[in-house]
Structures are given as structure tokens and as C-alpha cells.
């Protein structure tokens, strides 16, 4: 028998498995072998994990990364029942949640029937407790601390020089409206001459961002996909990394960038404050003048933040281990 059957949507959500195994836990990521406990590391795998756990009568730990308010809206939860190993959902007529059919109602059902519910930040914990009406524990995860770090083989002279007003502004994340990339382009246009902007990511806003940059004469480069090493290099050589999102559950980009020694400017939202503290320059996410001022302040600082000890892979692994062991003994 395995100790844990781990359901994860991607490699990032499996980063701490080596730490758990090194501490003696038997953790499987696939197969049908019976396990004492199921961990679902995202709402996207909640239903699959619940089905596995329900068929074997074992408890579930559900991890909730975020609950974006625009996806919740003022919709109503669909009533749901478990019947012979299947979830039966009765869709409400009228106001519905703004996410793919039944996703949030299914997640709510799984959360309310889980042995434990965890969230990466105080902000998400409060959201989960308010929206789902269950107790939720803060269980900060980690960034890829093995990858995102300053490297001795890359000299500080490789950083893009602050030659007048030409230092590149870098932003890394999906190109969706809540990521607020347009603020970076508008901030770049406030300099004379306009700053170059590099965006790394993909999404539905790409065409509109390209049009905005063209209208403001901002040199814009977009990279849809880059390798892990190239992303580290991008952080380390950017003039300033700007993280302007209006909403995050944890907010990895500024953590990764700061860990690589970059100058970082981040929107003043609760998860950024919780994890970044005084290590970056903050600005109100909808205040364009404040963003420009924060960029200027960041450029005047020569020191580099470095690693975040509390949320390294090792620390997160230890944190999860301590919380999982009591659940295994139930």
C-alpha cells in the first residue's frame, strides 16, 4: 500500500515529492495501487482525485490555489450528490458562475467533503472559508528554488545596463486582462524615449497589447515560450522586472525574479505583500504614475534580494510532511 496518491496538473505541483520521499513517505503519481491518503494539488484535478478516493474510501486533501472573483461573479452553486461513485449535479437556471460548466460547484463539493483543505496564502485561505464555508489552513508551497537563483557563472555585468532610459522592462505571465500587461507598456511610454518592453507568455490579450505598443511607439518583444534556463537569464539581464497583476493566489513571477537577483516592481496586492515583504518596490496596480515612480526607485537600488528561505522546495517539503503525517495515522 502506498502512503499517498498525488494528483497534480503539472511538474510544478510535483516539486516537493522528492522531499516527501526522502522523509520516508511512499508517494505515487499514477496507477491504481491503494493509498492511505489522496492529495489533489489543484481544482483542475479535484474530480479525478475524488473519484479515486471515493472508490477506495480514503480521505482527500484538497489544495486550492485561488478563487478569481470574476469567475465566481454572483452565481449560485449547483446542488450535487454522490450516487454510486458518481457526482450528480443539478444545474441552476439563471445566474451561473463564469467558468466552465460545473467546475466551481464540483470543486466546492470536493472541498466540503475533504479531510483537509489547504491554500498557498492567507488571502486564498480567507476566500475559501468565505466562499465554501469550510475551515482552510495556510500551507505555503514553494518556488523552484533549484532553478531560480543567482548563478556564479553569470557575472553581474551581464545585466542589461541602465544606459539612460533604454533599460528593458520585462513582464512574465499569461496575457490576460487581470495580469495587467498594458500597464507595463503605458509605463514604458512615459519615459523619453520610450523604454523597450519584453513580455514572456501567451494568451488572448496578445494582439491588443501589440496594438497598444505600436500606438505609443513602445518597442515590444513577445516570446510565447522560453526554456527554463532562458527564463532565468531573462530575469537576470532585464533592467526591471514588472509584475503588475491585479489578482494572484500566490504570485510566483516576482518571487522567481527576485530570487534571481533582479530588480523587481510588483503590484500592491495581498499575496505579493505576504511573500515579498520589503524586498521589491510596490505600486497600486491601477496607478500609472505610481508604477513609473516605482520603476525609477527600483533602478536606484544596487542590492539584489536573493533567495526566499521560507518557500524553498526543502522548506515546503518539510511543511507538507509535518501536516500530512497526522492525516495518514487517522
Tens-place pLDDT, residues 8-51: 999 999 999 999 999 999 999 999 899 999 999 999 999 999 99
- State the pairing for strand pair 80-83/86-89: antiparallel
Say yes or no to pLDDT of 127 above 80: yes
Contact at 8 Å (CB) between 3 and 328?
Answer: yes
What's the predicted TM-score (pTM) here? 0.89
Please state which of the ranges 162-171, 234-243, 313-322 shows the lowest mean pLDDT.
Answer: 162-171
Measured from the Cβ of residue 145, the count of other Cβ atoms closer than 10 Å reads: 20
**118 versus 160: which is more confidently predicted?**
118
Cα 248 from chain centre:
7
pLDDT in tens, 278-304: 899 999 999 999 999 999 999 987 667
Measured from the Cβ of residue 103, the count of other Cβ atoms closer than 10 Å reads: 15
Question: For position 42, what pLDDT does the model report?
Answer: 96
Angle at 45 between CA 41 and CA 50, to 5 degrees: 100
CA 98 – CA 57 distance, rounded (Å): 32
- State the pairing for strand pair 169-172/197-200: parallel
At a CB cut-off of 8 Å and minimum separation 6, what does 64 contact?
43, 107, 111, 117, 118, 119, 124, 128, 136
Taken in order of first residue, the domains within the chain and their CATH numbers are: 2-142+312-328 (3.40.50.2000), 156-308 (3.40.50.2000)
Question: For position 164, what pLDDT does the model report?
Answer: 44
At a CB cut-off of 8 Å and minimum separation 6, what does 223 contact?
198, 199, 200
Backbone angles phi, psi at 282, to 5 degrees: -105, 155
Q: For 48-55, what is the mean pLDDT?
A: 92
pLDDT in tens, 70-114: 777 666 777 777 776 677 776 665 555 555 566 788 899 999 999
Amino acid at each position: 500500500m502506498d502512503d499517498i496518491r498525488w494528483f497534480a496538473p503539472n511538474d510544478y505541483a510535483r516539486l516537493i515529492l522528492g522531499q516527501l520521499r526522502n522523509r520516508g513517505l511512499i508517494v505515487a503519481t499514477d496507477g491504481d495501487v491503494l493509498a492511505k491518503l489522496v492529495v489533489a494539488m489543484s481544482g483542475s484535478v479535484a474530480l479525478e482525485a475524488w473519484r479515486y478516493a471515493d472508490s477506495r474510501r480514503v480521505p482527500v486533501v484538497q489544495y486550492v490555489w485561488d478563487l478569481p472573483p470574476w469567475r465566481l461573479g454572483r452565481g449560485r452553486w449547483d446542488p450535487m450528490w454522490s450516487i454510486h461513485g458518481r457526482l450528480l449535479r443539478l444545474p441552476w437556471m439563471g445566474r451561473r458562475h463564469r467558468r466552465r460548466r460545473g467546475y466551481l460547484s464540483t470543486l466546492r463539493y470536493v472541498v466540503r467533503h475533504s479531510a483537509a483543505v489547504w491554500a498557498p496564502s492567507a488571502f486564498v485561505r480567507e476566500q475559501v472559508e468565505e466562499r465554501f464555508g469550510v475551515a482552510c489552513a495556510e500551507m505555503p508551497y514553494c518556488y523552484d528554488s533549484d532553478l531560480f537563483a543567482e548563478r556564479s557563472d553569470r557575472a553581474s555585468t551581464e545585466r542589461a545596463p541602465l544606459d539612460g532610459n533604454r533599460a528593458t522592462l520585462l513582464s512574465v505571465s499569461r496575457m490576460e486582462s487581470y495580469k495587467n500587461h498594458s500597464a507595463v507598456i503605458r509605463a514604458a511610454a512615459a519615459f523619453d524615449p520610450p523604454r523597450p518592453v519584453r513580455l514572456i507568455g501567451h494568451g488572448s490579450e496578445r494582439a491588443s497589447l501589440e496594438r497598444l505598443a505600436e500606438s505609443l511607439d513602445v518597442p515590444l518583444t513577445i516570446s510565447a515560450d522560453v526554456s527554463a534556463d532562458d527564463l532565468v537569464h531573462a530575469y537576470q539581464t532585464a533592467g526591471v522586472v514588472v509584475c503588475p497583476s491585479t489578482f494572484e493566489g500566490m504570485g510566483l513571477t516576482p518571487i522567481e525574479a527576485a530570487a534571481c537577483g533582479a530588480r523587481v516592481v510588483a503590484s500592491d496586492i495581498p499575496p505579493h505583500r505576504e511573500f515579498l515583504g520589503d524586498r521589491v518596490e510596490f505600486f497600486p496596480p491601477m496607478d500609472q504614475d505610481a508604477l513609473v515612480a516605482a520603476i525609477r526607485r527600483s533602478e536606484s537600488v544596487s542590492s539584489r534580494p536573493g533567495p526566499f528561505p521560507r518557500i524553498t522546495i526543502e522548506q515546503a517539503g518539510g511543511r507538507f510532511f509535518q501536516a500530512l503525517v497526522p492525516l495518514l495515522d487517522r
